[in-house]
Chain A
Amino acid sequence: MQTTLRQGLARTIAVLVVGALVFGSAAFAQPKTVSYPGLDIESGQSGGAMTMVLGDSPPRFFYYGEISTVSQTLSQQMFDSLVEFDLENYELVPGLAESWEISDDGTVYTFHLREGVTWHDGTDFTADDVIFTYEQIITNPEARAGDAAQFTFTVDGESRPVTFEAVDDMTVRMTLPAAAPAFLLQQRFFIMPKHVLLPFSVEGGAAPADINNAWPTDVDPSLVVGTGPFRLTSYTPGQLVRLERNPDYWKVDEAGTPLPYLERLDYLIVPGTDAQVAQFLAGNLDQLNISGAQFPDFMTRSLAGADFDVVQSPALFGSPPHLAFNFDAADAELAELFSNVEFRRAMELAVDRMRVIDDVYNGLAEIPGTPTAPANAAFYEDTTGLMGEYDLAAAATALDELGLTDTDGDGVRNISAGRALEFTLTYGNDSPAFTDIATILQNDFAEIGVRVNLQGIQASQLLGTGLSGDYEAIVVALGNQPDPELRKPIWQPGGSLYYWHRSTQPADTGEAPNFDAMADWERRIYEIFDRGSVETDADDRAELYREWQRLNAENVPVIMIAKPANVAAVYDHIGNFVYSLGVIPGYNPVPLYFRR
């Protein structure tokens, strides 16, 4: 992966040749005009400040040094990626790459970089920075928040890397060992400055793990150099991160006004939802993402004349909760029952989605996909018809037909003689929504003679508990992504996060999964995901994933409960507000926000 002498020489020659060709002609900035006709964006005025919230202190300012939502949120404002999302429809649009070509066989990606982009310290952005970011950081297996696995393909049982090459100063070519249709979507990696980070890299003579030491929180802010709309001004530990406008940013609005509009962007560090709400109501935060549960209080205040508004939109990202039964539960009788499709379908009939949507989310949620978000136009398959509607009588009949009847007359069905149909439901008790959902499930299940014992744990421990297999039933929320390929480890049987049926996972990492443990429909889903990874025809690929969603709806690996909407409160003096989770690389509406 290191640049060899020959490559270096070749690059120097290439730079000289290209430099001679373009000298004096094309060195002007090429600003990108952004417009979103469907989003009600107006031309704003420059200047002013805005304060948003961070739920925790940043671990560091180097995005690839630590997986952290906080550093993701901040990096989003300070860095750019080759491609980014259209805020309106999640389609990929040019970022630092002004255009790109994909070879017919889907293995060669050529990115033409934007001319005239500069780093915050004035240095020119070039193909070297892109190559450096990919070769030295993202594919460095020791980078804690890198993504080396994404760039290693297994072809014919052999592991082969993606190669990166600077064709000239402004062109980057990536060659894949095999076609990968979701590859472009992955290229929302933040590009880092080679001239600043070289000393931390292997190329600069450091050990592979040293890359994680870049930009700790006590670094001189002027060294945190990106190409993004804002740059770091100061960090006051535990209190505030202050960013200021990048005057040389490469985006302009339709009227030609340079973006971003805001002169200053402050992130106030406030852990805890209640404290965040207090800070918002006190006017110290200009905007706050809230949950459906908090909605009535905010709406009442807004209607009573408070100078803020509550906005909502259907969510593509965000995490829809589901109910999972452990196919491999420690108790053999429960494991057998939970592995039975008929049982899971019967229980699904007792899940009152509409009540969860109305009571838990105050109507600000919708019937979920299985599991693709309804807002995901490219891949969503409407499976509501297959999911069945809430019907306790039908659920009871279905359980009767499975032979699960109340043989001892105590009001609880029996699995076998003397054994009640009873299980533990694990949920996150520090999340009001999860607690309410767990209680609703417990009550409804009791109605049909199924006894549920609730076990509350920290919401942050839920997935870890799921992966450890130490549960019977559990309510977990996992995020949606625009492309199913990005959530393959969750939904492909045998995947590392396929936690409800762990016996399908391979005995050792990298080996083939345990096909013997899979049901027929799971084998088919496995196949779908493998084909989806390489199918280059977009329509055929979408159809594959639609089939997967139908299979999910019919076989209910997990019972999807609801898809919460995006809800945010924002003061009237902020213009052009577009909802953002803040942490999705490539989805950044903040440059459009302005102060009225």
Chain B
Amino acid sequence: MRRRLRPHRTYLANDSFTHHPSEFERRATVLVFLTRRLLTFIPTLLLVSAICFAVIQLQPGSFTDRYLEDPRFSREAVARINAQLGLDRSPVEQYGRWIWGIVTRGDFGFSFFANRPVASMIGERLAWTVVIALVTLLFAWIVAVPLGIYTALKRNGFTDAVASFVGYVGLAVPDFLVALLLVAMVLAYGGTNVGGLFSPRFIGESWTWAKFVDMLDHLWIPILAIGTGGVATIMRQMRANLLDVLDADYVRTARAKGVSEHRVTMRHAVRTAINPLVSMAGLQLPELINGTIIASIVLNLPTIGPLLYSSLLAKDQYVAMTLLLFASLLLMIGNLLADLALAWVDPRIRYG
């Protein structure tokens, strides 16, 4: 998932001879670029939705299988439920109606399971999903960037070795395993914060200081579990970038001019080295949904991930398809934002 390629970008070897666009020209280029990119979203999303729908249809079993074991089950009942849900129509018609609803009414269909519009179901889980993802991202960056800088400067030292080792382990161990280990540890030490975001007594109550503290007491587990992999990636990226830059000619020139070492690293080297990381931030957007599904299930978080998982299992097709569509949209928006941000911080990049 973590792409570090830079599509649609042209590096020019010698930009001093190129034409410097006026502000108006520049804005026009950005607009054309944006429009073109946004237009490519449409066929991509259509293709994604069609593939998702096909895969869900190919899955064995049907939504109504869940009713089989109930004493109230009868063939007539299942036939009637299928008719209510539109499952008696051909798959092509089901898909067509769903897409048509989105295009004409912004209606993403309804959940078979909850008999409610999909949008409202996603809505009630979106807030926590965003909060957890943002806090985790923030955690990863705050820890990883200084660590990357430090290990680059103290290259091959003891700290570098330890941080690199921990980094590799962090990359290699899946987040849900970290989550399980943390839960087991908490349990072994007599803690009660073994999943969820709050102790039961605070759920559904209004916000108080005690509730906030209780949340922090629960939140560190998902942050640590989900963030660890991110820390490792960003740290290693930061370290590699900085090492590249530290060997560059202009850094040597700065040193030769007699600029202090601190100023050389912070003002000259780090500022350049951090640029490529900006694109990574954008690419982490879709992780909001699909990067943390298993950890969210293990930790029982009220986020979108478990909803996607359960809807796929139950063949609650419109919920699953909307979420997958949403994830692909985020991926594309993330890519676009990354490109824009990179062009903004790095003047060498043109909209092409």
CB distance from A32 to the nearest CB of B (A): 26
Complex formed: what's the CA distance from A56 to B195 in Å?
15
A209 is an interface residue with CB less than 8 A from chain B? yes
Interface string of B94-117 (1 = CB under 8 A from A): 000000000000000000011110
Complex formed: what's the CA distance from A278 to B192 in Å?
9
In contact, A463 and B194 (Cβ under 8 angstroms): no
B47-94 CB contacts (< 8 Å) to partner A: 60-62, 65-77, 80-81, 84
Interface string of A48-80 (1 = CB under 8 A from B): 010100001001100001111000000000000
In contact, B313 and A509 (Cβ under 8 angstroms): no
In contact, B114 and A59 (Cβ under 8 angstroms): yes
Choose among B76, B124, B313 the residue that contacts A237 (Cβ–Cβ < 8 A). Answer: B124
A212 is an interface residue with CB less than 8 A from chain B? yes
B275 is an interface residue with CB less than 8 A from chain A? no
Residues in B with CB closer than 8 Å to A216 are 114-116
Closest A residue to B116 by beta carbon equals A216
CB distance from A81 to the nearest CB of B (A): 14
Complex formed: what's the CA distance from A66 to B195 in Å?
28
B148 is an interface residue with CB less than 8 A from chain A? no
Stretch at the interface among B196-204, B239-247, B253-261, B278-286: B196-204
Q: Given A51-B200, A239-B198, A281-B187, A275 and B298 touching (CB < 8 A)?
A: yes
CB distance from A302 to the nearest CB of B (A): 16
Closest B residue to A510 by beta carbon equals B76
CB distance from B185 to the nearest CB of A (A): 11
Residues in A with CB closer than 8 Å to B186 are 282
A204 is an interface residue with CB less than 8 A from chain B? no
**Which residues on A are within 8 Å of B, measured CB to CB?**
49, 51, 56, 59-60, 65-68, 141-142, 144-150, 209, 212-213, 216-218, 233-240, 242, 266, 268-272, 275, 278-279, 281-284, 458, 460-461, 463-465, 467, 478-479, 481, 486-487, 489, 496-497, 509
In contact, B297 and A463 (Cβ under 8 angstroms): no
CB distance from A342 to the nearest CB of B (A): 31
Q: Given A240-B204, A509-B75, A67 and B66 touching (CB < 8 A)?
A: yes
Q: Given A142-B84, A149-B74, A209-B84, A479 and B69 touching (CB < 8 A)?
A: yes
In contact, B65 and A463 (Cβ under 8 angstroms): yes
Beyond A239-B197, A275-B300, A282-B191, list 7 extra A-B contacts (CB 8 Å). A60-B114, A145-B72, A146-B77, A149-B74, A240-B204, A275-B299, A278-B183
Choose among A242, A271, A464 the residue that contacts B204 (Cβ–Cβ < 8 A). Answer: A242
Complex formed: what's the CA distance from A278 to B73 in Å?
34
27 contacts between A and B (CB under 8 A): A65-B115, A66-B113, A66-B115, A68-B113, A141-B76, A142-B80, A212-B84, A218-B116, A235-B204, A236-B204, A236-B302, A237-B302, A238-B124, A239-B197, A269-B300, A270-B196, A271-B306, A271-B310, A278-B187, A282-B187, A282-B191, A282-B193, A283-B192, A464-B65, A465-B61, A478-B69, A487-B71
Choose among B73, B113, B297 the residue that contacts A496 (Cβ–Cβ < 8 A). Answer: B73
Residues in B with CB closer than 8 Å to A509 are 75-76
CB distance from B202 to the nearest CB of A (A): 9
In contact, A282 and B192 (Cβ under 8 angstroms): yes
CB distance from A272 to the nearest CB of B (A): 7
Residues in A with CB closer than 8 Å to B115 are 59-60, 65-66, 212-213, 216
